[in-house]
């Protein structure tokens, strides 16, 4: 029996990939990390389509703690299931899906992206966010 398994394995050959030692190619249509372009976001004029579409509640829109005249947009990548519904719902293409999927961090709060719309970005140790500063 074991010899049969060995022979079958030799006939099949290697079927795994070398990732993460070598980058792997992604399938067409792969959905990775969604990103917000704050300059395109209409939340300040009442839009909340992305938050309403987000089934796991990963997106929140609420008053900014320091300046209540601003809105804080928060996206928790720890809750995001990368479904793309926020991108489909956004009327101004402010949300886009990227192919980034390596989002491992040491602390859960590093997966929270937050921006006060009309102001400075306030958090985001999130991979794929090169301008991120710690809160």
Interface residues with ligand SF4 (CB under 6 A) are 34, 36, 41-43, 47-50, 53-54, 56, 58-59, 75, 80-86, 89-90, 92, 94-95
Q: At its nearest, how many Å lie between ligand SF4 and the CB of residue 111?
A: 12
Q: At its nearest, how many Å lie between ligand SF4 and the CB of residue 106?
A: 21
Q: At its nearest, how many Å lie between ligand SF4 and the CB of residue 24?
A: 22
CA–CA separation, 123 and 131 (whole Å): 10
For residues 37 and 96, the answer to whether their CB atoms sit within 8 Å is yes
Residue with smaller CB distance to ligand SF4, 82 or 103 = 82
CA torsion through residues 55, 104, 66, 131, sign: negative
Residue with smaller CB distance to ligand SF4, 89 or 114 = 89
Residue with smaller CB distance to ligand SF4, 53 or 132 = 53
In the structure encoding, which two tokens stand for residue 118, read together?
């009309």
CA–CA separation, 52 and 128 (whole Å): 24
Residue with smaller CB distance to ligand SF4, 23 or 29 = 29
Taking the C-alpha atoms of 105, 111, 117 and 121 in order, what is their torsion angle to the nearest 10 degrees?
A: -20
Q: At its nearest, how many Å lie between ligand SF4 and the CB of residue 89?
A: 6
CA–CA separation, 17 and 115 (whole Å): 38
């Amino acid at each position: 029996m074991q010899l049969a398994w060995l022979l079958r394995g030799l006939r099949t050959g290697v079927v795994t990939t070398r990732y993460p030692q070598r980058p792997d190619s992604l399938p067409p249509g792969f959905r990775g990390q969604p990103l917000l372009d704050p300059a395109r976001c209409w939340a300040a004029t009442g839009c909340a389509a992305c938050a309403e579409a987000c089934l796991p509640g990963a997106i929140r829109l609420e008053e900014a703690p320091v300046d209540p005249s601003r809105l804080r947009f928060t996206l928790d990548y720890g809750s995001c299931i990368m479904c793309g519904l926020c991108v489909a719902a956004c009327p101004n293409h402010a949300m886009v899906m990227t192919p980034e999927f390596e989002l491992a961090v040491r602390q859960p709060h590093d997966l929270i992206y937050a921006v006060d719309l009309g102001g400075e970005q306030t958090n985001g140790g999130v991979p794929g966010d090169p301008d991120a500063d710690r809160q």
